[in-house]
């Protein structure tokens, strides 16, 4: 899935988390990921609020230990325990970015940096929560409009500083930004670090089939505009391209030969190969061999078909193929690796991997397939 965000009033960790929860990220899964860090004394809830007439989702984070200062190493250690692993990687990346920036600003080793405003345990909840929500929504690409920057001053542990704060500006290096008539801080260091950690690209809305849109509520209120972060989900567009189909009809080729030939054609680069039953002249039973391939491969594949079948000819014609985007991940089911193919509408475990695991575990095929699908949701 594609995520497009519009930070027209800036961005913070809780605004991102609220928007993702509003898009349907399951709150129990997000909480489970945070729990896996070992962090105690926290709570995360979501609620619908009205922000200047817009219905938005507020991510309500509370921690018992609300001390705002803490060593970065402590937060990184907690975030690194998050599960699944991709969640930990993104959360740690965000916190490490903050530590590097603070270290550079104060001439300190990032491993020894003492964080102030972002040193609270709520930073762990925000970073792990956002990473877990992105994982749960199967986000593969993030695009963003320019980030709105406020003006004036911001008060922090080091005194009164110009807004945006120096650390925030460092974290936004390389990002697309725009000035806004908003007083004070509109972008928090956590928000800026998460935008970077999720690999956001600053573009107009990309080509996609638009799905749900939600709004994450910020804690501040601006007189000029609603303080919400707009976020939209979309599916990548289907790819349509010209392909070539090579066909021949045979009535004197064994099933074993045809099976062998289909495997060879796929190994030789065919996008697909299959047979279908047919009836030839004099009512003879036969098979039609079909080979789908990219332009440029038809000559070599035709030669292979003729050599293996002994047929005296083959025909070919162009077709238009629509291919939906897909990706493959690998999960582990009781010690056995199983590849799972994901498309816009469903996920499906690879049969060969499922069959091998089912034999080794002495379990029904459908049970292993179900466990593989469940593992993709963890």
* Whether residues 22 and 134 fall in one domain: yes
* Whether residues 228 and 295 fall in one domain: no
343 or 33: which leads in pLDDT: 33
Q: Classify residue 156 as exposed, middle or buried by CB count within 10 Å of its CB (0-12, 13-18, 19+).
A: middle
* Whether residues 156 and 296 fall in one domain: no
Q: Report, as an integer, the average pLDDT of 134-156.
A: 87
Is-contact 167 117, C-beta < 8 A?
no
- Place 261 in a pLDDT band, splitting at 50, 70 and 90: very high
pLDDT at residue 212 in the model: 93
Task: Give per-residue pLDDT as tens, 83-93.
Answer: 988 999 999 99
pLDDT at residue 109 in the model: 62
- Highest mean pLDDT range out of 15-24, 143-152, 178-187? 15-24
Residue written as tokens 């964080």?
Answer: 115
- Place 344 in a pLDDT band, splitting at 50, 70 and 90: confident
pLDDT at residue 116 in the model: 53
Which tokens go with 307? 């050599």
pLDDT surpasses 90 at 143: yes
Cα–Cα distance measured from residue 151 to residue 137, given in angstroms and rounded to the nearest whole number: 34
Task: Give per-residue pLDDT as tens, 51-67.
Answer: 999 999 999 998 887 66
Q: Angle CA(51)–CA(19)–CA(118) in degrees, nearest 5?
A: 95
Task: Give per-residue pLDDT as tens, 205-230.
Answer: 998 889 999 999 998 888 878 999 99
Show Cβ contacts of residue 300 under 8 Å, excluding neighbours closer than 6 positions. Answer: 268, 269
Of 235, 260, 289, the residue at which a domain comes to its end is 235
Task: Give per-residue pLDDT as tens, 69-88.
Answer: 677 888 899 999 999 889 99
Cα–Cα distance measured from residue 34 to residue 132, given in angstroms and rounded to the nearest whole number: 8
pLDDT at residue 244 in the model: 96
pLDDT at residue 111 in the model: 63
| Mean pLDDT for all residues in the chain | 89
12 or 184: which leads in pLDDT: 12
pLDDT at residue 182 in the model: 86
pLDDT at residue 112 in the model: 63
* Whether residues 121 and 245 fall in one domain: no
pLDDT surpasses 60 at 118: no
* Whether residues 195 and 180 fall in one domain: yes
* Whether residues 94 and 197 fall in one domain: yes
102 or 298: which leads in pLDDT: 298
Q: Report, as an integer, the average pLDDT of 232-254.
A: 91
Which tokens go with 309? 């079948």
pLDDT surpasses 80 at 170: yes
pLDDT at residue 272 in the model: 96
pLDDT at residue 247 in the model: 97
* Whether residues 185 and 301 fall in one domain: no
Of 212, 235, 258, the residue at which a domain comes to its end is 235
Domain holding 290: CATH number?
Answer: 3.30.70.1380
pLDDT surpasses 70 at 68: no
SS (H, E, C) the chain: CEEEEECECEECHHHHHHHHHHCCCCHHHHHHHHHCCCCCCEEEEEEEEEECCEEEEEEEEEECCCCCCEEHHHHHHHHCCCCCHHHHHHHHHHHHHHHHHHHHHHCCCHHHCEECCCCCCHHHHHHHHHHHHHHHCCCCEEEECCEEEEECEEEECCEEEECCCHHHHHHCCCCCEEEEEEECCCECHHHHHHHHHCCCEECCCCCCEEEEEEEEECCCCCCCCCCEEEEEEEECCCEEEEEEEEEEEECCCCHHHHHHHHHHHHHCCCCEEEEEEEECHHHCEEEEEEEEECCCCHHHHHHHHHHHHCCCCCEEEEEEEEECCCEEEEEEECCEEEEEEECCCCEEECHHHHHHHHHHHCCCHHHHHHHHHHHHCC
* Whether residues 98 and 203 fall in one domain: yes
* Whether residues 256 and 331 fall in one domain: no
* Whether residues 275 and 244 fall in one domain: yes
* Whether residues 225 and 262 fall in one domain: no
Number of domains in the chain: 3
Is-contact 118 163, C-beta < 8 A?
no
* Whether residues 103 and 166 fall in one domain: yes
- Place 236 in a pLDDT band, splitting at 50, 70 and 90: confident
Q: Report, as an integer, the average pLDDT of 328-349.
A: 88
CA dist 40 → 60, 125, 169 (Å): 16, 11, 32
Structural domain containing residue 61: 2-235
Nearest to 46 by CA among 68, 24, 64, 66: 24
Of 286, 308, 323, the residue at which a domain comes to its end is 323
Q: Is the pTM of this model over 0.85?
A: no
Is-contact 329 342, C-beta < 8 A?
yes
């Amino acid at each position: 899935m594609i995520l497009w965000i519009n930070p027209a009033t800036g961005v913070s960790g809780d605004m991102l988390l609220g928007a993702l929860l509003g898009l349907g990220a399951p709150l129990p899964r997000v909480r489970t990921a945070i729990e896996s860090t070992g962090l105690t004394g926290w709570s995360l809830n979501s609620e619908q609020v009205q922000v200047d007439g817009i219905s938005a989702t507020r991510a309500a984070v509370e921690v018992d230990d609300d001390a705002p200062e803490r060593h970065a190493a402590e937060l990184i250690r907690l975030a690194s325990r998050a599960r699944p692993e991709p969640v930990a990687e993104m959360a740690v990346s965000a916190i490490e970015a903050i530590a590097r920036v603070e270290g550079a600003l104060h001439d300190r080793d990032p491993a020894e940096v003492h964080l102030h405003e972002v040193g609270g345990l709520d930073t762990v909840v925000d970073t792990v929560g956002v990473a877990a929500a992105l994982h749960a929504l199967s986000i593969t690409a993030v695009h963003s409009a320019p980030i709105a920057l406020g003006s004036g001053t911001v008060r922090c542990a080091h005194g009164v500083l110009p807004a945006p704060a120096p650390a925030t500006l460092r974290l936004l290096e390389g990002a697309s930004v725009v000035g806004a008539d908003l007083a004070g801080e509109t972008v928090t260091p956590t928000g800026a670090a998460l935008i970077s950690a999720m690999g956001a690209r600053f573009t107009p809305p990309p080509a996609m089939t638009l799905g749900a849109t939600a709004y994450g509520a910020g804690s501040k209120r601006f007189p000029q505009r609603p303080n919400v972060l707009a976020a939209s989900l979309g599916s990548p567009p289907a790819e349509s391209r010209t392909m070539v189909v090579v066909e021949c009809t045979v009535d004197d080729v064994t099933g074993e030969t045809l099976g062998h030939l289909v495997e060879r054609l796929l190994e030789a680069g065919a996008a697909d190969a299959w047979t279908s039953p047919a009836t030839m002249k004099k009512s003879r039973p036969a098979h039609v061999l079909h080979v789908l391939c990219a332009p440029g491969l038809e000559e070599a594949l035709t030669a292979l078909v003729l050599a293996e079948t002994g047929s005296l000819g083959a025909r070919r014609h162009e077709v238009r193929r629509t291919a939906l985007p897909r990706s493959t991940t690998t999960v582990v089911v009781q010690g056995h690796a199983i590849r799972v193919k994901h498309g816009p509408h469903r996920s499906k475990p690879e049969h060969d991997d499922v069959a091998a695991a089912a034999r080794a575990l002495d379990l029904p095929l459908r049970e292993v397939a179900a466990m593989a699908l469940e593992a993709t949701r963890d």
